[in-house]
Amino acid sequence: MELRTLRYFVAVAEELHFGRAAVRLHMSQPPLSRAIRNLEAELGAALFDRSPAGVALTPVGAVLLEEARALLDQADRARVRVAAEAGTATVTVGFLGDSTDPGATRLARAYRRRHPHVEVRIRETDLTDPTCGLRAGLVDVALTRGPFDTAGLTVQELRADPVGALLRADDPLTHRSDLRLADLADRRWFRFPEGTDPHWQSYWNGGEPREGPVVRAVQECRQAVLWNGTVGMTLADHRPGDGLAVVPLTDMPPSRVVAAWREGDTNPLIRSFVRLATAAYRN
């Protein structure tokens, strides 16, 4: 059994869906299905029960999943120990000003347990660069939010968060249980500086060109609302602080937390980071 094939198997076993596993592995579904069938032929046993209702692990598959995870972890630890001996066991993680997220806290704990000898360097960025310095080579992996231009990058979705309108607490719209973008059409919105990724800018402006003050950081967004009555979007469960309120927006897609890294980067520390992040944010 090759490690690559075991990684394919673990992805299918965790997703219980060949299509989602293929997306996660950044490959098409047919070669993934062939790889799993070849693995089953090699082992002489079915690993999955396939039915119109979905995919489920067989008892044999459950045993292999436990063993495969252990083997993959051991392989990653071997690579990391060699890197540590060579003095190269470091990874730089970029955060988009959201490093207090409980998912990030769980991830830090899990990563420290898995790789106690790895030095993790943190680079926190403002809202103008959703890749957190990834394109500039300043970080190895980014824990951030989409959408942004993904050319040359690999992106793994970790969680989807509903969003809401950030308003001053005395705004009449705060009496509503929810809002639609049309309710905010005549308002001034906070915007990001010229040159900010257009996908990112468009999402946080509700898909429309807006007028309003330019901001770079979360605190500047809050102050723009407090001082000017500007509106904008934030996470629906966000605690905005005194003088501010959040009202859910019903016609906006959720804000997606993602891990992103450079396409083709095979650093085992990054691979381990993404695998642990997937588990940490699902919890």
Q: In the predicted model, is pLDDT for residue 230 greater than 60?
A: yes
Q: In the predicted model, is pLDDT for residue 89 greater than 80?
A: no
For domain 89-159+254-283, is the CATH number 3.40.190.10?
yes
DSSP assignment of 136-171: TTS-SEEEEES-S--TTEEEEEEEEE-EEEEEETT-
CATH tag, 3-86: 1.10.10.10
pLDDT of residue 69: 87
Domain spanning 163-253: which superfamily? Periplasmic binding protein-like II (3.40.190.10)
The band of 271, judged by pLDDT with boundaries at 50, 70 and 90, is confident
Q: In the predicted model, is pLDDT for residue 20 greater than 80?
A: yes
pLDDT of residue 283: 66
- The per-residue pLDDT for range 149-199, each reduced to its tens digit, is 999 999 999 999 999 999 999 999 999 999 999 999 999 999 999 889 999
- Strand order through the sheet with 232-235: 232-235, 163-168, 244-248
Whether 169 and 252 have beta carbons less than 8 Å apart is answered as: no
The shares of helix, strand and coil residues in the chain, as percent rounded to the nearest 5, are 40, 20, 35
pLDDT of residue 84: 60
Nearest to 219 by CA among 232, 207, 210, 208: 232
Q: How far is CA 32 from the centre of its chain?
A: 23
Q: In the predicted model, is pLDDT for residue 86 greater than 80?
A: no
pLDDT of residue 173: 95
Nearest to 55 by CA among 9, 7, 5, 12: 12
Q: How far is the C-alpha of 126 from the C-alpha of 220, rounded, in Å?
A: 10
Structure tokens at 66: 């436990």
Whole-prediction pTM: 0.71
Q: Are domains 89-159+254-283 and 163-253 of this chain identical in fold?
A: yes
pLDDT of residue 87: 56
Strands (E), the chain: 48-51, 54-57, 90-95, 119-124, 141-145, 153-161, 163-168, 232-235, 244-248, 255-262
Sorted by where each begins, the domain ranges of the chain are: 3-86, 89-159+254-283, 163-253
Structure tokens at 260: 């992103």
